[in-house]
A = this chain, B = another copy of it.
């Protein structure tokens, strides 16, 4: 969705000796998308900062936490991606209830007291993206397919946002049991249940599995067996339109793309790291970046 007057980005950004370092730790990391967005965001808000890929497995996590604890003074913080989102949780001094309920952390910073703290923005970005497109989450009935890292984070964010009923499908029983236990502990008032079959009476169906990343993947579910009013939503950002969304859309169903989550994660990142947006509409800016 094009913004009528996207903020202009000159293509110029510079690093100097006073630049603060941010980035994402992952293994692999070549797929990182934030490096394409954050320079333009930092430039727009006037932050002297850079977003970097940090490539490495588990030994890099501890190293970067040591760096953040004060050894590298111009390291502002980082996010983590595969395979670190669960492993980093017990390595931090404090983790938000949302992240504990998700079972994963993606944002790490050092707070004013010197403690290393973590939170998760994946599910929150999904919920905000949904609401920004006019889809109310509070009180809604939602079917969530997949309770891996992203699915667990979305489940927690949906519960936190006051979803009326959450039905989940996850083939891995142990993973499903652990996720349900976490959710019931942190959000005891939200009715959450497992289902093996597409449920009736839902407002939103969410694919939170990796199915659709590769062209020969099977569909995570067939959107045509859902009633026509169900919004079919996707967390996958690339391809922009997965076979699931394509099938739903070409048959007249309403769809919600994975890209909305990314658009809304960026302001969450700025908030987390305490970077002032200076009145810039960050979601609109991010949307204007191809």
Contact = CB atoms under 8 A, between A and B. Distances in A.
A216 to B, nearest CB: 24
A56 B18 CA distance: 13
Interface string A1-37: 0000000001111111111010000011111110110
A60 interface: yes
- The number of times this chain is found in the oligomer is 2
Nearest to A59: B71
Interface in A32-72: 32-33, 35-36, 39, 50-56, 59-60, 63, 66-67, 71-72
A74 interface: yes
> What DSSP secondary structure best describes chain A's contact surface?
loop
Given A63-B63, A63-B72, A35 B17 contact: yes
A24 B59 CA distance: 22
Given A16-B32, A17-B30, A19-B53, 13 more contacts: A14-B35, A15-B39, A15-B52, A16-B35, A17-B35, A21-B52, A21-B53, A27-B73, A53-B74, A55-B72, A56-B73, A59-B71, A63-B66
B15 A53 contact: yes
Given A19-B53, A50-B52, A53-B16, A60 B36 contact: no
* 3 closest Cβ pairs, A-B complex: A17-B32, A55-B74, A17-B30
Given A54-B72, A63-B63, A17 B39 contact: no
Contacts of A10: 11
A149 B35 CA distance: 37
Interface string A68-91: 000111100000000000000000
Given A29-B74, A74-B29, A63 B67 contact: yes
A235 to B, nearest CB: 19
Contacts of A19: 35, 52-53
Nearest to A58: B71
A233 to B, nearest CB: 26
Contacts of A17: 28-33, 35, 53
Nearest to A15: B35
A194 B189 CA distance: 83
Contact of A71 (B51, B56, B74): B56
14 contacts: A11-B12, A13-B13, A14-B35, A15-B53, A16-B53, A17-B28, A17-B35, A21-B52, A54-B72, A56-B72, A56-B73, A59-B71, A60-B67, A60-B72
Given A59-B71, A60-B71, A63-B66, A36 B16 contact: yes
A202 B19 CA distance: 44
Interface centre among A11, A17, A28, A60 (most CB of B within 10 A): A17
